[in-house]
Structures are given as C-alpha cells and as structure tokens.
Structure 1
C-alpha cells in the first residue's frame, strides 16, 4: 500500500490545471511551498504569464525556484504537515533538454534527473501536488527535437502517474479523476 500523498494534475494548455492544483493546495490547510520550474526569460508575454501565477497565489505561500534541481527542492521543502506544489514538469523538462547555454544534456544526465526526482517523491513525508501538460494528444511533431520532447514528457508523466495516489486530468476547467486511492 502506498502511504505517500502525491497528486498529479495533467491537462492541456489553458485547461485549468494550475488553478485546480492551487485550489487543492489551499484546501489542504497546510503550509504551502510553491516550486516554480520556469526559467526567467526576456520574453514579455511569458513574463506576464509568470506574473499572473504570482498574483493568483496567496501571499503567505512560500516560493522556491527549481529550473533544474527539482529533487533537491523537494528534499529541502518537504516535511510532515506541509504541502509542496510543483508547477510544472513541462517547463522543467524544457529546461533539461534546452538549457540556456544551448547545449542539450545528454540522455544519461536528464534521465538521472528523472530518477532523483522520483526518489524524492517516494521519500516525501508531506503532501505533494505536481502539475504537467498532456501534450501527446495531437499530431506527431515534424522535428527530431520536438519529437524527443513529446516522447520524454509522455514517459515522465507515466512515471509520475504510476507513483501518484491521485491523478486528475483537467479538460475545459473540469477535473476528471483518472486514479484515486484504491482505484485504477
């Protein structure tokens, strides 16, 4: 039997996944640390998205930024009676595959990050909520780099869903329970 409290929230762009995850964290009545995986960029539109997320979060929530070492951030902020909200795996994987210096990590390096992140989730003592995009529902991408990204995110999502006690798919702002304790 799985004793951890790990919720995985998936959905497409603008499906309501972040808002839903934030509501879950808020409803937990636990002290919350929000772990942001976005890397700060000079893009005004993306900066506006980040600002929108910041404005929506309660001011008393803690904030950590983990663009690469997500396992380290989980280990640092995890504790019994606490909640960590990670938003999102989609950007984290982009950071791993497309670092700012332009040199993509070899597969053994980014896959090692997956493994250490999974281990941190397995060892977690508090409530963890992880957000990710479901991007594999469309056409097969034309470029090799994009196909690698879609494939690796799909594999990562499967790994995290397998560890999770709850998995919810967001569609048009509606939560669809895919996995519940004792369920599928």
Structure 2
C-alpha cells in the first residue's frame, strides 16, 4: 500500500532581508489557492509625506492578483483578530511593519524590551490556531550591523524574538536571499 502524499504546510514563515524577494516568493506560494479566496493582509500604513514608501506600497499592490481580497491593517482591527475571524488562505505582509505600528501605538520605543509581550503572545497564538493556509512575511534583521540607536536595537531584538516564536508555530520556514529561497524547517 503506497504511503499517503505528504500534506502541504498550513503555516509558512518567509524571512528575508530588505529587497530580498521575500514578498514575491510568498505571493507565489499562494498560487495553489483559488485566486478569489486569497486574503492579503497588508500591515504597512500609508504616509502621505513619504513618496518613496507610497511607491513601494503601490508596487506591492500592482503585483498582486486583482482577485485577491486586500485587508489594510489601518482599518483598526488587530492582526490576531483578523487571523481568528477567517480560515481562508491568507498572506500577511509583513510582520516588521506590524511590529512597528504596534510599537508606535504603544509608544514603546523608549520602554523596556518585552513591553509588547501580550500583543505578541496574542499574535503567536492566533497563528498557531489558524487552520487555513497562512503565509507570513517577516524581515530577517539579525544579519546586519548593530543599529546605532536604541530604538533600532529594540526593533531588531523584538523582531528577532517574534520571528523565532513564529518559526516554532509554523510548519515551514523559508529564508529568501537574493531572490532564492532556502528551507530552514
């Protein structure tokens, strides 16, 4: 009797540096889903005073299939709550901009490390409990220089911890470098 085919991963974490191709790779992972069923959760917030940032967001928008449902995180609904409300195939891009927004909202840039632990715990639990296809994109920031500012070091430490926790609850972890993905888990 042949062994059953392996099940595809439900939860995938895609890590990579800036401009590494991680978002494009994550989008390609959603290809097996019915296009109209894919929910894309965008965590970046527009800033009318930053034309470069707006161009980056627009490049992401134009690359996505038009059939995908896009949920902008600026709607006021928390990411963990969004993950709990629907098991549709979902892509979250990205955890770094989510963490930045959470730090801004809590005014945590000068507070001790771990201040956001309840919010991070809630998100990790929501990811662990998600029963549909889920692809998370997150920056890998631990490979570069040590940030010069306290807020830079704080972000690096917090996103590093968040990525490690997400890697534990995800079925698959990929690292994208120069557009090439390597399976870590």
> Do they fold alike, i.e. is TM over 0.5?
yes
Equivalents in 1 of 2:69, 2:42: separation in Å?
A: 11
Cα deviation for residue 37 of structure 1 reads 0.4
Indicate conservation of the 8 Å contact 1:8/1:131, yes or no: yes
Q: Which residue pairs with 2:67 in the alignment? A: 60
Q: Which structure: greater strand fraction?
A: 1
Matched, 1:152 2:158: yes
Deviation at 1:39, TM superposition (A): 1.2
In 1, the alpha carbon distance for the partners of 2:53 and 2:13 equals 24
**1:146, 1:16 → 2: CA distance?**
23
SS at match of 1:98: helix
Per the normalisation by structure 1, the TM-score is 0.86
What is the Cα deviation at residue 104 of structure 1? 2.9
Structure 2: any 5+ residue segments left out of the alignment?
A: 1-7
The answer for the alignment partner of 1:74 in structure 2 is 83
Going from structure 1 to structure 2, the CA distance change for 1:161 and 1:25 (only over 3 Å counts) comes to same
Q: 1:174 offset after TM fit, Å? A: 0.5
Aligned to 2:97: 91
Q: Does the C-alpha gap of structure 1 residues 72 and 109 become closer, same or farther in structure 2, counting only changes over 3 Å?
A: farther
Q: Deviations over 1:78-136 (max 9, x none)?
A: 22xx210000001011111124xx93376665211111111111211201000001011
Aligned to 1:182: none
Q: Distance in 2 between matches of 1:74 and 1:149?
A: 23
Partner of 1:124: 130
Aligned mates of 2:65, 2:120 — CA distance in 1: 29
Contact 2:90 2:135 in 1 (8 A): yes
Aligned 8 A contact 1:64 1:73 in 2: no
Looking at structure 2, the residues matched to 147 and 178 of structure 1 have their Cα atoms a distance apart, in angstroms, of 25
Secondary structure of 2:165's counterpart equals helix
Aligned to 2:184, the other structure's residue is in SS state strand
Aligned equivalent of 1:22, options 27, 40, 55: 27
Aligned residues: 172
In structure 1, the gaps of 5 or more residues are 180-184
Aligned-CA RMSD value: 2.0
